[in-house]
Amino acid sequence: MDTFVSRTRKGPIDWATDEQREPGRNKIEEKCNQDIIKNTVKEEEDDYFTGFLEPIPWQKIEAEGLDCDYALLFPKQEADKLYTQLEEEVVYLTGDKTKIQVFGKVYSVPRKLATYGDTGLTYTYSGLSHQASPWTPTLRYIRDAVTKATGHAFNFVLINRYKDGHDHMGEHRDDERELDPLCPIASVSLGAPRDFVFRHQEARRKQHRRQINPVKLELAHGSLLLMNSPTNTHWYHSLPVRKRVITPRINLTFRRILQDGKK
DNA sequence: ATACGGCCACACAG
DNA sequence: GCTGTGTGGCCGTA
């Protein structure tokens, strides 16, 4: 099962080292070589059902103020199936709900959005409130798998669909008031693997005292990234444009929203 | 949670 | 080696 770290290209990019991701993994990386290594969920599915009964091999990703855990939650065959089902089930927002205003101009967000969750929950995104649609069977299944793997219960999921590498998300923090600050955000990826970048808040201006390197990783098909407190208070994250990516990725970020936490 | 342009660096192909 | 093209990091501006 040594198939977690992947790297789709080389270059000047300062990816998280293997030691950061998982001490002692260097040998595997050498074996994989640096080129287009797909990630690598096992193809054989003999332990398809036992997967959830055994503890998931997590990789710890740490930097100062950053605390994440990464794992392959779904084997390829199952991830494929979930992806297909979501493509059939999920209904994305349309019209004005996909528009955002920045510096007086209105833009369509460069991706598709959907919100699902417990009855009555709303999620405020860039000034707009969205009512959560009721859980679909597939979303409920994924939610329960995430809960089993993490021990955390979630009442809401924000779905972002990136149709190809031109769809992206700019740097931001998930710092909405309505989020339970102590509950991690669980990010499930299905479809095309995409690069994901964390940057420390103090590294966002030219003039900063200390240099704090960004932390970069690739989110694989079927993977789960847990962003633990206090990651979201110190680190911004983004999903940068990757022009070579031509297939879609669906990202599900499970959250716990506090009913009373509104402004 | 935007886009865009400027500047720079790198990878690749011819 | 060179040069052009494409990509991407990073920043500033609106």
Per-residue pLDDT tens digits for A113-132: 999 999 999 988 777 788 99
Q: Binding site annotation covers A208?
A: no
Q: What is the pLDDT of residue A16?
A: 56
A258/A224: higher pLDDT: A224
Residue A1 maps to a domain: no
Average pLDDT over residues A37-53: 42
CA distance A52 to A38: 23
**A249 Cβ contacts chain B strand, under 7 Å:** no
Q: Binding site annotation covers A175?
A: yes
Q: What is the pLDDT of residue A55?
A: 76
Q: What is the pLDDT of residue A22?
A: 42
Comparing C-alpha atoms, which of A2, A160, A23, A7 is closest to residue A72? Answer: A2
Residue A225 maps to a domain: yes
CA distance A257 to A185: 11
CA distance A166 to A244: 9
Q: Binding site annotation covers A236?
A: no
Q: What is the pLDDT of residue A161?
A: 97
A51/A53: higher pLDDT: A53
CA distance A160 to A249: 8
CA distance A195 to A226: 16
**A103 Cβ contacts chain C strand, under 7 Å:** yes
**A105 Cβ contacts chain B strand, under 7 Å:** yes
**A49 Cβ contacts chain B strand, under 7 Å:** no
Residue A3 maps to a domain: no
Q: Binding site annotation covers A249?
A: yes
A228/A177: higher pLDDT: A228
Q: Count of alpha carbons within 13 Å of A18, Cβ hemisphere only? A: 18
Residues A197, A240: contact at Cβ < 8 Å?
A: yes
CA distance A12 to A224: 26
Residue A28 maps to a domain: yes
CA distance A115 to A118: 10
CA distance A256 to A19: 31
Task: Give me Rg for the CA atoms of chain A.
Answer: 18
Which domain covers residue A132, as residue numbers? 18-255
Helix (H, G, I), strand (E, B) or coil at A195: strand
Convert the pLDDT of each residue in A180-219 to its tens digit.
988 999 999 999 999 999 999 988 876 656 688 999 999 9
**A170 Cβ contacts chain B strand, under 7 Å:** yes
Residue A263 maps to a domain: no
Range with the poorest average pLDDT among A3-12, A14-23, A128-137: A3-12
Q: How far is the CA of A104 from the C1' of C13 (A)?
A: 13
- Token couple for A255: 């959250």
Q: What is the pLDDT of residue A19?
A: 44
Average pLDDT over residues A134-141: 98
Residues A228, A184: contact at Cβ < 8 Å?
A: yes
CATH code for position A117: 2.60.120.590
Residue A152 maps to a domain: yes
Range with the poorest average pLDDT among A19-33, A142-156, A165-179: A19-33
A46/A99: higher pLDDT: A99
CA distance A133 to A93: 11
CA distance A87 to A212: 38
Q: What is the pLDDT of residue A259?
A: 74
Buried b (16+ CB within 10 A) or exposed e, A131-157: ebbebbebbeebbebbeebbebebbbb
- Token couple for A49: 């059902």
Domain total in chain A: 1
CA distance A184 to A36: 31
- C1' nearest to CA of A170: which nucleotide? B1
Residues 202-221 of A with CB under 7 A from strand B: none
Residues A192, A8: contact at Cβ < 8 Å?
A: no
Convert the pLDDT of each residue in A56-112 to its tens digit.
899 999 999 999 999 999 999 999 999 999 999 999 999 888 998 888 899 999 999
**A12 Cβ contacts chain B strand, under 7 Å:** yes
Q: What is the pLDDT of residue A181?
A: 87
CA distance A65 to A56: 24
Residues A21, A223: contact at Cβ < 8 Å?
A: no
Q: How far is the CA of A3 from the C1' of B13 (A)?
A: 33
Mean of per-residue pLDDT scores for chain A: 81
pLDDT tops 80 at residue A52? no
Q: How far is the CA of A119 from the C1' of B4 (A)?
A: 40
- C1' nearest to CA of A101: which nucleotide? B2
Residue A116 maps to a domain: yes
Residue A261 maps to a domain: no
